[in-house]
Amino acid sequence: MHIHILGICGTFMGSLAILAKQLGYQVSGSDQHVYPPMSTQLEQQGIDLREGYDPAHLQDKPDLIVIGNTCSRGNPAVEYILSEALPYCSGPQWLAEHVLNRRWVLAVAGTHGKTTTTSMLSWILEHAGLKPGFLVGGVPKNFDCSAQLGDSDYFVIEADEYDSAFFDKRSKFIHYKPRTLIAGNLEFDHADIFADLQAIQTQFHHLVKIIPQNGLIISPFGNANLQEVFDRGVWSPQQTFSLDKTDDADWHAALLDEDGSSFRLTYAGESAQVEWSLLGQHNVQNALAAVAAAAHAGVSLAQSCAALNEFAGVKRRLEDLGEFGGVRVYDDFAHHPTAIKTTLDGKRAAMGESGDKQRLIAVIEARSNTMKMGYHQQTLAASLAAADIVYWYKSAATQLDLDAIAASAETDFHSVGSVDELISRLVSDKHQGDHIVIMSNGGFEGLHQRLCEALSG
């Protein structure tokens, strides 16, 4: 069977393509603005990539076309599919019917941290010998790729609230029918498809409605936005987690190092310690959620912590690219004020006392639709406080008032109109020992590699 995937280089659709290949299907796909790590991963899997959305890609009449949610009416390939009455479906529908059916699905939902938490949970189950399948919206370093079928009933999936396709406006996660659900957090995002926070909460409650009575819902203790969802009705057991040992959460973590590199987890009188390479309190909370979900699948606290000690993280999540000309450069996916803040706070804490003599520089591309539309105008300045200097890439698409952000920011803020200028300013102003964190959920016009080369040169 030949399936062709439109939007194949998206993190979700690329992972889906890998699963289809592992099932024995002939897989091809079309996309534009292709960039690593997904493009590299697909090529390594022997999947046929085709640039752009030319209808000629479909003239060999695939048995099924899976349409990504980035493709809408007016797309040449979509128009050809409809005119020729070719068979098609959404990615979440294909996944539910061909991979998830009758499996124990452990779903990780929330505005932030889904990719990292999904990777942690997948690794914990793998480390415990449960041979899970998984689909991650990124590339976890403990595995060779972002998805695998696995060899058991367990399947871990990053459960996105974004819509399924132009013809199916339900959130993706509705298709997955999980037994174990992590609802890690909930804030307003995806302003291009959701009118307000309440619209997202409605989708989350649709998800809550389908968790069975032998399932489990795991969430942070005292999260007001999620509690409003649960107040509409819950029919499944619940567990909570927290970093505050004074509250009534089921799972607790105590930081042993301020930067989150060492901590102790406690549940039902048992405890175990984690020492790992990740940073930030947000990752400790991600670990709490992953361990609680693994426990629902029968993995002990001690086993989970042993796995986390070996967890290597995810590409593009504060990924250390190396030191270039005395400057250390990191690649990070953060694209929301909360994610930006937690990442910078974690890095600042890790710099410790030496951080007083070193500079933390954030280089940010506001690429998500919500950011470009200006919905986070009022919260962005506060999210940047941990950085010494911020360079903001001012693209033509952004509607943010960068002058207003600069006026209210506590840090040294600069808006820059081109990647060439960004590189020039970063190189000319570099100090020995600087830490530069590049934050973008896209390719950033090749800034990462170009900057590293320029710093070295």
The count of residues in the chain is 457
Helix (H, G, I), strand (E, B) or coil at 171: strand
One-letter identity of residue 371: M
pLDDT tens per residue across all 457 residues of the chain:
999 999 998 889 999 999 999 999 999 999 987 666 677 888 888 898 899 999 999 998 999 999 999 999 999 999 999 999 999 999 999 999 999 999 999 999 998 889 999 999 999 999 999 999 999 988 899 998 889 999 999 999 999 999 999 999 999 999 999 999 999 999 887 667 888 899 999 999 999 999 999 999 999 999 999 999 999 999 999 999 999 877 899 999 999 998 889 999 999 999 999 999 898 888 999 999 999 999 999 999 999 999 999 999 887 778 889 999 999 999 988 767 878 888 888 888 888 755 457 899 999 887 665 555 555 666 777 888 899 999 988 876 676 777 777 777 778 888 888 999 999 999 999 899 999 999 887 778 889 999 999 999 8
Chain centre distance of CA 441: 9
Sequence ranges of the domains in the chain: 2-91, 102-309, 319-456
CA gap 353, 237 in Å, rounded: 44
For domain 319-456, the CATH architecture is Alpha-Beta Complex (3.90)
For 72, phi then psi, to 5°, come to -135, 180
Of the CA atoms within 13 Å of residue 141, those in its CB half-sphere come to 15
Q: Where are the alpha helices (DSSP H) in 237-374?
A: 281-296, 301-309, 337-351, 369-372
> pTM of the entire structure?
0.82
What tens digit of pLDDT does each residue of 353-404 get? 554 578 999 998 876 655 555 556 667 778 888 999 999 888 766 767 777 7
The fold for domain 102-309 equals UDP-N-acetylmuramoyl-L-alanine:D-glutamate ligase (3.40.1190)
Same fold, 2-91 and 319-456: no
Between CA 383 and CA 406 the distance in angstroms is: 12
Which CATH architecture is the domain 2-91 placed in? 3-Layer(aba) Sandwich (3.40)
Q: Round the average pLDDT of the chain to a whole number and report it.
A: 90
